[in-house]
Structure 1
Amino acid sequence: MAEVIPFNGHYRHDHREPHGCFDAHLHIIDPDFPLIANQGYRPAFFTIEDYQKAVRGLDVRGGAVVSGSFQGTDQTWLLAALEALGGDFVGVTQLPDEVSNKRLLELDEAGVRAIRFNLRRGGHQDIGAMIRQARRVFDEVGWHCEIYADARELAPHLTLLRALPSMVIDHLGLSQEGLPTLLALVEAGAHVKATGFGRVSMNVPATLAAIADINPHALLFGTDLPGTRAPRPFRDSDIELLHNTLGDAHAMLALHDNAVALYRPRGSDSVA
């Protein structure tokens, strides 16, 4: 294997030119917009400027701004962030069940590309309702759904989840016990976020390798910044781990190409 050398804060093999990364999971926590305490928790603010400073040197060329549990189903802050960041960034939002088709079209035009279901923090415990809403947004605007849950808790719903048209599982499914369920979903076409390495309870390299063995196009890199409630937030060596585990070609799929194909960013210049 060729020697691994650093460039701009992350890593490449010495025979391949870098082509940037797409950060498929980041949070913006803007003090200009109200937060909702979730289980008594309100995170510290993390502005666009804070994010840009944190990823300086990583050659970020776009990303997915993800709604947190503490932001509820409001998109005001998200639309402001997408406007400021530019068309290489997209949104992942939480929605009320009664959202109108007109609103879905407006959000899609603004760059929102996915609906998020946060089972981890007490939201959307009705799996049937979640499935119906996921199908609806896919049919109306072509969005995929993103599920934040311990994959072991998804096992009883595997048949229903396998039938979803497009799905992403956050943070490697969180647990070693959930790995069989996670891999079954990958076999059915699910994507998985290679994110939150400091919040999972599993062998991260082995999990990444197992997913890539099934489908190297399934993995989506993200920083998970600012790492709210994570015991250990993102660090640059997480990208080195991707290269060392997956090899150069598959790591670059996870770092950029897979996410761009899934999220379909609008493509105007960004400010990051």
Structure 2
Amino acid sequence: MSEICPLPIRGIDAHAHVFERGLGLATVRRYAPDYDATLADYLTRLGESDLSHGVLVQPSFLGTDNSYLLAALQQAPERLRGVVVVERDIAFDELERMAGLGVAGVRLNLMGQPLPDFAEASWQVFFQHLRRLDWHVEVHRQLEDLPALVEPLLALGCKVVVDHFGRPDARLGVGQPAFARLLESGQSGRLWIKVSGIYRLGGTPMENLHFAEKALSLMLQSLGPDRLLWGSDWPHTQHEHEVNVCSELERLRRLACAAPLRQHLLCNTAAELFGFVKD
């Protein structure tokens, strides 16, 4: 990726996970891996793909025990940033400690969960903490529920990152009302969308790619390239035998033919959002 990214950044993978078998698992979970996805493995995949930097996102099956992720960040602090999953009553001092280790955001993985009421006092205090640290809120939820989550967060002044195109059903096309509402939220200037996880969009590979092509065009019109970023979603949990980092980069090249657009998706947006470059 060095042909489009300014050195020393050769490319940023803005969404990946690391874990090992034997770690404590969340009591309520949708999935548990039967293999290891170590930091060493991940860094090898980055090198093979000519990428230099990455963002580690806490996997849902590890719950709020971020110790493995935080330890990984400390092994390559110049190359990695993190997104954690925490309880909303966490102390500000603990969040500040995590910030010192390279954490830049909190993930709300709400797949299969009841929708929260962000008007509750405990949520309000939590989001105050995040704004104070200039962290973002990463939201993972099906498209139809996203407006009810994203709009209140933006009204509270939060920076919001939406996972995997907003997890739409690709078979329903880009005319879904919730997709239009999501793009309207981009007018706030505080909404980012990850161009990632195309294989998670509910259709056949061709249906998913066709949706991604049209969706990316609309997202560029509504948000602009500096609010879009790419992630491999390594190790592609539940799809491990279908895709890899290289195949996802190839999909990106098909989606973003122009080098300036790829530079935003692979470098500029994530470099600023995650603090890989300083003013």
The TM-score with structure 2 as length reference comes to 0.81
Partner of 1:139: 131
Partner of 2:65: 74
Checking the alignment, whether the CA contact within 8 Å between 2:195 and 2:230 is kept in structure 1 is: yes
SS in 1 for 2:146: helix
Matched residue type, 2:104: R
Checking the alignment, whether the CA contact within 8 Å between 2:56 and 2:69 is kept in structure 1 is: yes
Checking the alignment, whether the CA contact within 8 Å between 2:194 and 2:229 is kept in structure 1 is: yes
Q: Does 1:216 align with 2:216?
A: no
Checking the alignment, whether the CA contact within 8 Å between 2:46 and 2:53 is kept in structure 1 is: no
Checking the alignment, whether the CA contact within 8 Å between 2:146 and 2:166 is kept in structure 1 is: no
Larger helix proportion, structure 1 or 2?
Answer: 2
Task: Work out which of the residue numbers 99, 102, 111 in structure 2 matches 1:111.
Answer: 102
Distance 1:121 1:27, change over 3 A: farther
Distance 1:245 1:81, change over 3 A: same
SS in 1 for 2:47: coil
Distance 1:42 1:81, change over 3 A: same
Partner of 1:183: 183
Structure 1, residues 78-110: CA drift from partner, whole Å, max 9, x if none?
111101232221110011122111111111111
Structure 1, residues 170-205: CA drift from partner, whole Å, max 9, x if none?
000011434213212223221001111111145011
Matched residue type, 1:220: L
Instruction: Give distance in 2, aligned partners of 1:209 and 1:252.
Output: 16
Distance 1:18 1:168, change over 3 A: closer
SS in 2 for 1:116: strand
Q: Does 1:85 align with 2:85?
A: no
Query: Which one scores higher on RCO, CA 8 angstroms, separation ≥ 6?
Result: 1
**Stretches of 4+ moved more than 4 A in 1?**
16-19
The alpha-carbon deviation at position 155 of structure 1 amounts to 2.9
Matched residue type, 2:216: L
Partner of 1:60: 51
What root-mean-square deviation, in Å, do the aligned CA atoms of Structure 1 and Structure 2 show?
2.6
Partner of 1:33: 23
Partner of 1:4: none
Partner of 2:205: none
Distance 1:266 1:243, change over 3 A: closer
Gaps of 5+ in 2: 203-207
Query: How many residues end up aligned between the 2 structures?
Result: 254
Gaps of 5+ in 1: 1-9, 268-272
Distance 1:235 1:90, change over 3 A: closer
Checking the alignment, whether the CA contact within 8 Å between 1:144 and 1:168 is kept in structure 2 is: yes
Distance 1:95 1:39, change over 3 A: closer
Partner of 2:145: 153
Distance 1:18 1:257, change over 3 A: closer
Checking the alignment, whether the CA contact within 8 Å between 2:55 and 2:82 is kept in structure 1 is: yes
The alpha-carbon deviation at position 58 of structure 1 amounts to 1.5
SS in 1 for 2:119: helix
The alpha-carbon deviation at position 266 of structure 1 amounts to 7.6
SS in 2 for 1:92: strand
SS in 1 for 2:137: strand
The 10-residue stretch of structure 1 (186-195 or 34-43) with the greater mean CA deviation from structure 2:
34-43
Partner of 1:169: 162
Instruction: Give distance in 2, aligned partners of 1:117 and 1:188.
Output: 20
SS in 2 for 1:56: helix
Partner of 1:238: 248
Matches within 5 A, 1:6-45: 16-17=3-4, 19=6, 20-31=10-21, 33-36=23-26, 38-39=28-29, 41-43=31-33, 44-45=35-36
Structure 1, residues 13-43: CA drift from partner, whole Å, max 9, x if none?
xxx5554211110000134632225445211
Q: Does 1:257 align with 2:268?
A: yes
